[in-house]
Structure 1
Amino acid sequence: MQGWGGFIAAFIVFFLSHGLPVRPPVKPWLVARIGARGFTWLYSALSLAVLTWLIVAAGRAPFIALWSGPEALRHIALTVMLGVCLILAFTLGRPNPFSFGGLHNDRFDPAQPGIVRLSRHPLLLALALWGGAHLLVNGDLAHVILFGAFAAFAGFGGRMITRRKRREMGEAYDRLWSATRAAPLHLSPIPGTGLRLAVALLLYAALIMLHGPVIGISPLR
C-alpha cells in the first residue's frame, strides 16, 4: 500500500504498537513470559521496525511542498543528530525509574544519575530533537506531519509518563527526583563512558550510511 493510504496505515500501526504493549493488562503478561529485559528488547525492536516503515511510507506519500530551507539547515540537522546519538548511547541500558526504557531501576543511584540528571525523559528528548532536526530539512506535507507529530508526542508523552510514574511511586517519586536534581552536575567520566561514546559515534556513522539505502535520500548530499 502506497500513497496517503499507506502513510495513514503506518501511522495507525505505529501508535498502536507503542500504546498497546505498555497497557497494564498487556505489559505484565509479556514481562511474566519473556522477562523485563526481553520486553525492553522486543519493544525496542518492534518500535524500530514500525518507525522505519512509517518513514518509508512518508517518502512514498504524494509530495506537497510547504517550504524549502537553505543548505545550512542540513548541517544543523546533522549536528543535532550527533547529539541524538549521544543521548541514546548514554541512556539505553541504564536505570531510570522516572521514565520508560530503564533497566534495573532498583539499582538507580540518585547520587550518580548520569544523563537522568539533565532530563528525566532522555529518550523522549532524543525523539524531540530527531523530529525537530528533520523538520528543518523536510518541508513537504507528509514529512511535516510525521516529524511534527513526533516532536509533539515527545513533549506531551513526557508529561503523561511523569503523571503515571507519580501515581505508581507515590511520595517516593518526588523524594527520589529531588535527590537526583541535588546531585552535582559535572562531566567526570563514569564506568563505560568510553564505550558509550564509541557506540554513539558508530550509531551516527551507521545512520548516515544507511540513510540513503533505507530511506532513499543521503543526508550528505
Structure 2
Amino acid sequence: MENLIAACLLFLTMHWLVSGGPLRVPIVNILGENLFKILFALITTINLVWMGVAYSNAPYEPTWGQITDLIPVTVIIMFVVCIMLPMSIFDKNPTLLGLVSPENVKAKGMLRITRHAGLIALGLWGVAHFIANGDWASHIMFGTIAFEGLIGPLNLDRKYKARYGQAWDKFAAQTSYLPMGAIFSGRNKFVLKELNKWGLALGICLFIFLLYFHQDWFGGLCCLYKS
C-alpha cells in the first residue's frame, strides 16, 4: 500500500507544485518551455504506469466492499463521463493542453457548458470507481484521480489567468468551471446544435462498449449480466 501512496503523492506533486505551482517557473527558466513539457509528459506517463502497477499489487483491504445497489449510481456517472470525455476534444479550448490562446477561442459547443469538460470527466470517472470499489487501494487510487479531475481545474484557471491576463478574464467570463454554471448565471446560453455530433456518437458507443465488456476486460461489477 505504501508504494501506491507514494505513486499517488508524486502524481499530485507533479501537478500542483510543478506543472501548475511555484516550481514551474524556475524549472522552465532552466530547461525551456518545450523541454519542460516533454519531460513533464514523460514523467507523468511513467508515474501513471507506476500507479497502475502499484494498484494492481496492493493488498485488498475492504471498506464497504462491492455493493450491487451502487451499480445504478456508477452507471449514471459513467454515462456522463463517456459523453463529456470525447466531446471535450472537438472544440478549440485553451484549457486543453494550453495549445491555443483564449484570444482566439469563441465559447461555443461544450465550452458553453464547461471549459474543463475533459478534466471533470476524468474526475467523475474517479468518483464512479471510488464508489464502485469499496477498498482502501481503490479509494487511494481513484480518490487521487477524482481530486485532480475535479479540483485541478481551479489550479489551471489560476495558471492561465497569470499567463494570459485580460484575455483569460474575457474567456472565463463566458464559460464556467462548474458544468452549466455560465448558462444558469446568464453569462451564456445552451445551444444544442453546436454540440459535436461525432463526439456525442463516440461517447454513446463508448458507454455501450463499457456496459458489455467492462466486467470481462477490467473486472469489477457490471450492470449487464450475461446469461
Q: Normalising TM by the smaller chain, what interval?
A: 0.7 to 0.9
Mind listing any 5+ residue stretches in structure 2 that lack a counterpart?
176-181
1:122 pairs with one of 108, 114, 117: 117
Q: Quickly say closer, same or farther: Cα 1:184–1:156, change in 2 above 3 A.
A: closer
**1:59-70 alignment runs, 5 A limit:** 59-68=56-65, 70=67
Contact 1:92 1:101 in 2 (8 A): no
User: Which whole-Å CA distance do the structure 2 matches of 1:101 and 1:143 have between them?
Assistant: 27
**What's the counterpart of residue 69 of structure 2?**
72
Is 1:204 matched with 2:181?
no
CA gap of 1:195–1:154, structure 2 versus 1, over 3 A, is closer
Unaligned runs of 5+ in 1: 33-38
- State the match for 1:194 in structure 2: 197
Whether contact under 8 Å (1:132, 1:148) holds in the other structure is yes
Identity %: 27
Measured in 2, the distance between the counterparts of 1:179 and 1:147 equals 31
Cα 1:93–1:196 shift into 2, 3 Å: closer
TM-score of the two chains, using structure 1 as the length reference: 0.72
Counterparts in 2 of 1:188 and 1:100: CA distance versus 1, 3 Å: closer
CA deviation string 1:101-133 (max 9, x = no partner): 3654564213xx221222222122112211111
Task: Name the TM-score, length of structure 2 as normaliser.
Answer: 0.71
Which of 93, 97, 101 is the equivalent residue of 1:101? Answer: 97
Q: What is the letter of the counterpart of residue 83 of structure 2?
A: L
Offset at residue 194 of structure 1 (A)? 2.4
The 3-state SS of whatever aligns with 1:66 is: coil
Question: 2 CA distance for matches of 1:212 and 1:56?
Answer: 19
Instruction: State the distance in 2 between where 1:206 and 1:31 align.
Output: 37
Counterpart AA for 2:141: L
Given that residues 21 and 27 in structure 1 are in contact (C-alpha distance below 8 angstroms), is that contact kept between their aligned partners in structure 2? no
Aligned letter for 1:92?
I
Answer yes or no: is the 8 Å Cα contact 2:71–2:222 preserved in 1.
Answer: yes
Question: Which residue does the alignment assign to 1:183?
Answer: 188
- Equivalenced residue count is 204
Q: 1:36 maps to which residue?
A: none
RMSD: 3.4
Displacement, 1:162?
0.8
